[in-house]
Structure 1
């Protein structure tokens, strides 16, 4: 716990230093190892973003298929689109039972790691009775098949529905949920709210889960980013309330403090974040690991954060902000199957942004090296 606290405190220092530096906006200053002053080689900047698809309606999640095209959810329309690398876009189908409203709707999407054999696609969505995780088949000619609801009754509210789902390196399906506006639920390990869940592809509790149910970790406010590094370290990204957003290293059975702690609590019973930001510079949503960094999309902050990964006991280096204010609110991040690009979606038509011509869009950013 003490190690986590030390890293998180350094993350706070990093952000304040970046905010006060004279470096051009969107480029950051020289990277340092967790604010200690130890110089590290600067990473090669990514290439220029380019439009892959435009004219979308609140694209919330991006899941790549083996052929390099992607399935994209639209929160408010309940549609799933297929977007090819050349920008060709077609409708894969509409998910039945979705009840969009405020932060709810058709949210996360994950493609089965065995897609070539089972053709399975998973979605997380808001229904009239709660948030759900469902499984469908997908075929390029026939589109989405009938859904099978795997998990139902995840607490729902106008706000804090979580929604990100991802397959981990262990082949299990993970889901980030929100506290549905009731912080006490985040501390209740019998509730699915304010948690990171871990399940089999059939929606059953995965072997080794610490509480004998779907819950992997608890004490979260609103998790919308999940990612793993090449060594299997898991990162969870979540919204704070008024003070600190968080990047956490996720441990089975870990208590991440909400609602007792926001940001670094330095209390033995809670695990502290490895990076914190203010909501004004982040309000983070999607996350992905590629090119040696954790990439985090910021909604209110209207920027893309790159968090270089160290590969040692202190897992992160100095965060770097990119494209500040250039594309508006950023929602989803996904790495292409070859790892040479990331795709990022905007969220300017979600009722909180200022849509420009072509919004919403998906951007492709090459990772040059």
Structure 2
């Protein structure tokens, strides 16, 4: 595999990577060189399934083999957290601790620093977190970012002019922030509205509180107003009772969310408007008799600590931090039921943070070994390209 060293644009002289062997939680480092690999490897085609004799048509995307690593897109990143793709296929990546917004351009994934979000205040699990490309990006050139500031967590947006990030504009402010449980995932739904995952920021009482934006999934317009059709017309809250949601994905028009448990169970939830998912009264299953919505799947916390979530090739894919693996989850044809989780790459790449489907159908998965809780090697953090 041919590799190149690509300089990140910093406006000053280049410096070599400064890699820390063991980081305190919340520390930052200074990396100015990123190694990238051309994708080069075409995505293997999947044979068309044979017709079902019962008359029902199987999904043409259903994989016929286990996922496998194709190549490494980039190395030397500082806790890559958010990942999304622009209409031309270029990727946008956010780094939690540095506050940088990076563009990975072209087939060779040339790395360009678009800018730094100066209001980001990294501490513990807080910093520059999720990113979502506007569904109207070709017209408005807007990127939406979830940022931990010194005062709050907030959603901001900025226009990408060429390869440079413009000034940020607040979209939604006042989300509770803390050293832990900051949520941070952004996802535009098929309805055109922006879904925002938040955490309880270390205070569980926020999760069921209708007056707090903590411990919720929010649903807002592109301008930050409560979306039409929300459970409460004047509130951005879509669902409540969440401890710390860091993964959002749609299967058709159904919303799925991955959620960190405390001591007993991590969760995969099917989310509908107005539901209370039980935290802090219930962790895992057992809440239905009390009027709460149970998760469809749970894991022991050592097997998951789930962050990113994506739907690709007919399955949900969940990236696990403490579990150091990628979970593949079966979903039924209408996306309403999840079952049969299978783990891949267990312990091979360390902590896995974010997973996203690329335009070519591959999965891009970020590692999070430099987040203060992993054991980074000289190449961390990385973006892996996987055939689902």
Q: Please report the TM-score for the alignment, with normalisation by the length of structure 2.
A: 0.81
1:232: which partner in 2?
253
Q: Does 1:136 align with 2:144?
A: no
2:142: which partner in 1?
120
Q: Does 1:183 align with 2:204?
A: yes
From 62, 76, 82, the counterpart of 2:103: 82
CA distance in 2, matches of 1:149, 1:209: 21
1:241-270: CA deviation from partner (whole Å, max 9, x where unpaired):
001000000010000000000000142300
SS in 2 for 1:353: coil
Q: Does 1:223 align with 2:262?
A: no
2:341: which partner in 1?
319
CA distance in 2, matches of 1:277, 1:228: 21
Q: Please report the TM-score for the alignment, with normalisation by the length of structure 1.
A: 0.86
How far apart are residue 43 of structure 1 and its match? 4.2
Q: Does 1:248 align with 2:269?
A: yes
1:55-92: CA deviation from partner (whole Å, max 9, x where unpaired):
00000010101111101000000000011342311101
How far apart are residue 336 of structure 1 and its match? 1.0
How far apart are residue 42 of structure 1 and its match? 7.7
Q: Which runs of 5+ in 2 are unaligned?
A: 1-61
Kindly tell me: are residues 101 and 266 of structure 1, through their superposed partners in 2, closer, same or farther at Cα, counting changes over 3 Å?
A: closer
2:82: which partner in 1?
61
CA distance in 1, matches of 2:303, 2:190: 30
CA distance in 2, matches of 1:140, 1:343: 24
What are the within-5 Å matches in structure 2 for residues 345-364 of structure 1?
345-364=366-385
1:17: which partner in 2?
none
CA distance in 1, matches of 2:285, 2:64: 28
SS in 1 for 2:125: coil
Any conservation in 2 of the 1:240–1:283 contact (CA below 8 Å)?
yes
CA distance in 1, matches of 2:377, 2:85: 26
Any conservation in 1 of the 2:90–2:104 contact (CA below 8 Å)?
yes
Any conservation in 1 of the 2:248–2:255 contact (CA below 8 Å)?
yes
From 83, 92, 102, the counterpart of 1:71: 92
Any conservation in 2 of the 1:53–1:88 contact (CA below 8 Å)?
no
* Structure whose CA Rg is larger: 2
Any conservation in 1 of the 2:125–2:179 contact (CA below 8 Å)?
yes
SS in 2 for 1:280: helix
Q: Does 1:51 align with 2:72?
A: yes
Kindly tell me: are residues 153 and 42 of structure 1, through their superposed partners in 2, closer, same or farther at Cα, counting changes over 3 Å?
A: closer
CA distance in 1, matches of 2:170, 2:63: 46
CA distance in 2, matches of 1:93, 1:258: 37
SS in 2 for 1:117: helix
Question: Which structure's residues are more often helix, by fraction?
Answer: 1
How far apart are residue 357 of structure 1 and its match? 2.4
Q: Does 1:151 align with 2:175?
A: no
From 307, 316, 328, the counterpart of 2:350: 328
SS in 1 for 2:282: coil
Any conservation in 1 of the 2:309–2:356 contact (CA below 8 Å)?
yes
SS in 2 for 1:262: coil
CA distance in 1, matches of 2:101, 2:305: 25
From 286, 301, 305, the counterpart of 2:308: 286
Higher relative contact order (CA closer than 8 Å, sequence separation 6+): 1
2:22: which partner in 1?
none
Any conservation in 1 of the 2:63–2:314 contact (CA below 8 Å)?
no
Runs of 4+ with >4 A deviation: none
Q: Which runs of 5+ in 1 are unaligned?
A: 1-40
- The number of equivalent residue pairs is 324
Any conservation in 2 of the 1:189–1:211 contact (CA below 8 Å)?
no
How far apart are residue 190 of structure 1 and its match? 1.5
